[in-house]
Amino acid sequence: MRLSKLSVAVLLAAMIFLFSSGIGYAAETADPSGMGLSPIAFFFVFVAICTAIGVIAVLGGVGGGVVFTPLMMGFTPINSFIIRATGLVVALAGSLIAARPFLRRGLANVKMLFFAALPYTIFAVVGALLAGYVETSAGDFGEALIRLILGFLVIFIAGLILFGGKKVEYPEVKKVDGFTQRLGLAMSYWEQSMDKVVHYKVRRAPLGTFLFCACGIVSGMFGVGAGWAMVPVFNLAMLAPLKVAAASSKVLIGIGDSGAVWPYIMRGGVFPLFAVACIVGVVIGTSIGARLMFTVKAQLIRWIVILVMIGAGVKLVIDGFNKL
């Protein structure tokens, strides 16, 4: 409990610092959002918007970044580079909140995290660098291309949610390849629902390495987080139990995106007032959503998330073609 209170105090102190610096920066710039709002109004408007995003994302079973980035790019005049940078910050904040209980309970496989963190982080940084290159070198064509690809990607993710890709709660691993065996990725955790310790093995680490590279590129370049992709990699490609896959994916986002956000920061993509408002809103929304999970029909929210993502994806595709 003491650690939890200390963490909250540190987070609040950081937010107060960023908020104060953000107000000063916003006051010196000529309405960077293009929305005609004062800094204070801007802050509270986006706290409210991101609170709603946080609630919907939790109830819909997706990460906040997957909903945040396409919505902001499709329906606000804010620069897309800033939105993608903030999407990474939002995904990072959500991951850091979830990491502690997942690691403490042993759900997140630390050995797999060490293995996956290197390819995912390196290619997330590469993706972020590519985003910066497109922003500065490709002009309107690059912006149109980003919107088109992100639009199709978001529609694809909505399709995955709609048709519910195959998931295996406890995959059966009959044989482990030599490379994975040498890595020693097998672990165990306490499964409270069965009141016993679950021992498990994983396999196909080489395939996992390639897929984590792809996840990193997508996350770093588009700022959507990659939990939607990494859970199937852990669960279906490497055959980790579903709970372990979900927990490890959430923690891995915090590791990889903390590196990917730096190219955005160095290019001025993280606007403090916007980033802090979105973090506060998503954290509040996530907390509210977690409480509502027991009373609200998740199926209805799932359909809302699907429709919102398809709508945002279609809007991005239309905007991309118009810019071309």
- Name the residue with higher pLDDT: 236 or 290: 236
- Lowest mean pLDDT, pick from 32-41, 167-176, 213-222: 32-41
The pLDDT of residue 242 is 83
pLDDT in tens, 79-114: 889 999 998 888 887 777 777 778 888 888 899 999
pTM of the model: 0.81
Domain annotation covers residue 12: no
Please work out, in degrees rounded to the nearest 5, the angle formed at the alpha carbon of residue 139 by the alpha carbons of 141 and 272. Answer: 120
Determine the average pLDDT of the residues in 6-23. 49
Higher-confidence residue of 2 and 168: namely 168
Q: Is the pLDDT of residue 34 over 60?
A: no
Q: What pLDDT score does 214 carry?
A: 93
Has residue 25 been placed in a domain? no
Residue 258 forms part of a structural domain: yes
CA distance 282 to 47: 8
28 in any annotated domain: no
Task: Please name the residue that has the structure tokens 């107060």.
Answer: 16
Give the mean pLDDT of 13-33: 47
Asked if 261 contacts 270 with a C-beta cutoff of 8 angstroms, the reply is: yes
Q: Is the pLDDT of residue 243 over 90?
A: no
Confidence of residue 127 (pLDDT cuts 50, 70, 90): very high
Q: What pLDDT digit, counting tens, does each position of 171-188 carry?
A: 888 888 888 888 888 888
Q: Is residue 36 a part of any domain in this protein?
A: no
Q: Reply yes or no on whether the pLDDT at 167 is more than 80.
A: no
Q: Which of 125-129, 220-224, 225-229, 268-272 has the lowest mean pLDDT?
A: 225-229
CA distance 5 to 11: 10
Whether 319 is in a domain gets the answer yes
Residue 212 has pLDDT above 90, yes or no: yes
118 domain-assigned = yes
Residue 119, pLDDT score: 94
Q: Which structural domain range is residue 196 located in?
A: 42-323
Phi/psi at 297 (5° precision): -70, 110
> How confident is the model at residue 41, as a pLDDT?
85
Percent of the chain with pLDDT over 90: 12
Q: Give whichever of 25-29, 71-75, 164-168, 304-308 has the largest mean pLDDT.
A: 71-75
Residue 20 lies in a domain: no
124 vs 3, higher pLDDT: 124
Please give the pLDDT value at position 207: 92
SS (H, E, C) the chain: CHHHHHHHHHHHHHHHHHHHHHHHHHHHCCCCCCCCCCHHHHHHHHHHHHHHHHHHHHHHCCCHHHHHHHHHHHHCCCCHHHHHHHHHHHHHHHHHHHHHHHHHCCCCCHHHHHHHHHHHHHHHHHHHHHHHHHHHHHHHHHHHHHHHHHHHHHHHHHHHHHHCCCCCCCCCCCCCCHHHHHHCCCEEEEECCCCEEEEECCCCHHHHHHHHHHHHHHHHHHCCCCHHHHHHHHHHHCCCCHHHHHHHHHHHHHHHHHHHHHHHHHCCCCCHHHHHHHHHHHHHHHHHHHHHCCCCCHHHHHHHHHHHHHHHHHHHHHHHHHHC
- Tally of domains in the chain: 1
pLDDT at 23 over 50: no
pLDDT, averaged across the chain: 80
Which two three-digit tokens encode residue 217? 């590129």
**pLDDT over 50 (residue 26):** no
Q: What's residue 35's pLDDT?
A: 60
**Res 3 pLDDT > 80:** no
Per-residue pLDDT, 36: 65
